[in-house]
Structure 1
Amino acid sequence: MKINEIKNVFAFCMGCLALLAGCAGFTEDVSGNVADHSDEANQIESQYALARVMQSGKVVRSSASDSIMLILEVNGGCVNQSGSIVYNPDFYYRDTSRYAYSFRGDTLLLTNHYVPDRYEVDQTEYDESFILVGGTSGKLDGVWFFTQCRYREEKIYCSNYGYDTYMKINGNKVEYRVADREDYDYMQTVFVWELFMFLGSHNSIQLETPFYYTDTKYEQEEYGISILEKTKKSMKFSYNGLTFDLNVDYAYYKDSLSVTLKSGDVTCVGKHREIVNVPPEMCNADDVDNFYEIDDTGLLKYQKQNDSEFETCIDGILGRSRE
């Protein structure tokens, strides 16, 4: 299963509302209105200042002041040019999204109309509104925090990602930043779900998935896994007569990750490295196998992980061979 498919299956949890840490910043009353929390604005601006820049671009506002167009731009980048990987300073790409916008108190709603592509099973079209807080009611300019919750056809859905997203609008400029959540429970994620599945049924493990929540209780019961100790970044569990110690050493979204799994005298280390904005000095054919095109844009990102090595090490602990 690809990472985008995993996100679609596991990222949303209905009815989470303000119970999820990622949905803090607003509450939903019985009338459906979102109550504002303007006292969080200063904190959100401080968190934005410490977050990592991911994308930037332009804002085009409608004359009717009811919609905006966000144009995220890439100026110069690593590309595959006639079979060679080179840095092209003249490369330009723009990703354009149009949103209707409205305010509920100090909450900003950005709404777009989603039309499924022809390959999707569900061909239902719908309106979806992202819920942002932190700015000033009636004013687009400012720092906004994505609450990880959204309205879809007037029903509310919440995600639980291991990172927070911020957007700053300043006149005709926009910038997105992300920050990793210090309180995130990495032991209830797609990565742990895949690890449990790997132990019991020999599937594959994707090391970039600890940032996406999912419940692992079914896999625990299915494969006889017992949780002995647990924190948000570590876990001791038993499986098939063996005891394992799992630890997330560090995790930075769209950057790097290191996890260790120990059993007895054997330690398996899984590492993932990702660079979306590849600098010129890294853009060369010496490492060609670790460059991947980003969503048919022509732009390349650097991505390297040792999934197979990690899986082989676990197989060695279990005393089984790869098929």
Structure 2
Amino acid sequence: MNKIQMRNVFAFCVGFLALFAGCAGFTEDVSGNTSDNNSVDRRQIESQYALARVAQSGKVERSSADDSITITFEQNGGCVKDGESFAYDQNFYFANSKTYAYSFRDDTLLLTRIYEPGPYEVNQERYEESFIFVGGTPGKLDGIWENTQCRYREEKIYCMNDGYDQYFKFDGDNVEYRVADHEDYDYMQTVFVDQLFDFLGNGGSIQLETPYYYSDTKYGQESSGIVILEKTNNTVKFTHADLTFELSVDYARYKDSLHVTLKSGDVSCVGTVRDMDDVLPGMCSDDNADYLWKSSSGAYTYERMNSNEFETCIDGILGRKREL
């Protein structure tokens, strides 16, 4: 799969259909009951919600039987293309709706949907799954709920380990969705690091897009000749091909920006990403045409990264010619 295809996959994954679940994180079957895990501090969740940043807001419509809800997230204003030029349109409007059945099990809220496979999911059958939320008042939809990253599928529980928390506040006809980076999340055990190790050993490419930093996976050092010397949640020291490397995630903010450094000897390779779903008026210009990508809403998002420079720098450390 090439970079454009991978971009499309993750554009799909971080869209509205996947608000309640990670797309590329490591999924673990932890069949059983979640009651022991759901003894949550409601005040703590409310405090975490207050510190999280607003990602989307919109409306909630409840069914007459009060057993399902339709969540509609709205976008007011956006970066659009007017002829051959980009311009920010204050009057741009887009609404995306999704309906869920909702119910309560003990102190958890369950939002249930029928999952329809995406365009890149071959041999995947449709199925029903229920996303598990905690923190609100049992039996009452209104309130602040945290996504546990767990879900029921055929009465088995599957949990993700993505590097960001998701919160929903239901208040009458209104809903607000917020996200916050996990404290002490292990950035050194993610898809990004796995790809970096593979690149060191086998070449290819490194995806710097933000979702790769937030999706848990196992190390790929065995196949890449990597030997880990030291490790924290955001740094790792390792050897490869008789060289010693130090990798650090210097700054990470989900769906916003990233800064990563790989050092070996006196050489430092820096990878950067700037990522915006809602493009600011000042960024919506022809000067940024190479970094503007049309989304499913019709508006453009902004994504800028230095993947080629990062890969070329690493190839230089290895004494390897860059294949264009």
Q: Same fold (TM over 0.5)?
A: yes
With over 3 angstroms needed to count, the CA separation of the structure-2 counterparts of 1:240 and 1:34, relative to structure 1, is: same
- The two structures have a TM-score, normalised by structure 2, of 0.90
Q: Name which of 214, 219, 244 aligns with 2:217.
A: 214
CA-CA distance at 1:92 after TM superposition: 0.9
Superimposed CA distance per residue, residues 128-147 of structure 1 (whole angstroms, 9 cap, x where no aligned partner): 11110000111110000001
The aligned amino acid for 1:92 is: Y
The aligned counterpart of 1:126 is 127
Equivalent runs, 1:153-192 vs 2, <5 Å: 153-192=154-193
1:3 CA displacement: 5.3
The reply to whether residue 15 of structure 1 matches residue 29 of structure 2 is yes
C-alpha displacement of 1:221: 1.3
- Amino acid in the other structure paired with 1:249: D
Q: Would the aligned equivalents of 2:25 and 2:214 in 1 still touch at CA under 8 Å? A: no
Identity between Structure 1 and Structure 2 (%): 57
**CA, structure 1 residues 5+85, in 2 after alignment: closer, same or farther (shift >3 Å)?**
closer
Kept in 2: contact 1:36–1:106 (CA 8 A): no
Partner of 2:311 in structure 1?
311
How far apart, CA to CA, are the structure 1 residues paired with 2:184 and 2:154?
31
Q: CA offsets, 1:98-125, max 9 Å, x none?
A: 0000001120000001122566312411
Relative to structure 1, the CA distance from residue 16 to residue 183 in structure 2 (aligned partners, 3 Å threshold; closer, same or farther) is farther
SS at match of 2:213: coil
The residue identity in structure 1 corresponding to 2:310 is F
Matched, 1:231 2:200: no
CA pair 226-103 structure 1, distance change in 2 beyond 3 A:
same
2:97 maps to: 96
Deviation by residue 1:56-110 (Cα, 9 ceiling, x = unmatched): 1000000101000000000111112222211111111111010000001120000
Distance 2:196 2:179 in 1: 26
Stretches of structure 2 lacking an aligned partner (at least 5 in a row): 14-21
Q: Which runs of 5+ in 1 are unaligned?
A: 18-27
Q: Is the contact made by 2:30 and 2:156 (CA closer than 8 Å) also made in structure 1?
A: no
Q: CA deviation at 1:297?
A: 1.6
Q: Secondary structure at the match of 2:41?
A: helix
Distance (whole Å) between structure 2 residues aligned to residue 50 and residue 118 of structure 1: 36
> What aligned pairs does 1:40-119 form with structure 2 within 5 A after superposition?
40-117=41-118
Q: Report the residue type matching 2:308 in the other structure.
A: S
DSSP 3-state at the match of 2:198: helix
SS in 2 for 1:64: coil
Aligned residue pairs total 307
2:200 alignment partner, SS class: helix
- Alignment correspondent of 1:21: none
Root-mean-square deviation (CA, aligned residues, Å) is: 1.8
Check 1:120–1:220 CA distance in 2 against 1; reply closer, same or farther (3 A cut).
closer
Q: Which amino acid in the other structure matches residue 180 of structure 2? A: A
CA offsets, 1:246-277, max 9 Å, x none?
Answer: 00101000001000000001000000011111
How far apart, in 1, do the equivalents of 2:191 and 2:319 lie? 25
Looking at structure 1, the residues matched to 251 and 120 of structure 2 have their Cα atoms a distance apart, in angstroms, of 36
Contact kept, 8 Å, 1:58 with 1:172, in 2: the verdict is: yes
Distance 1:321 1:16, change over 3 A: farther
Distance 1:43 1:304 in 2: 35
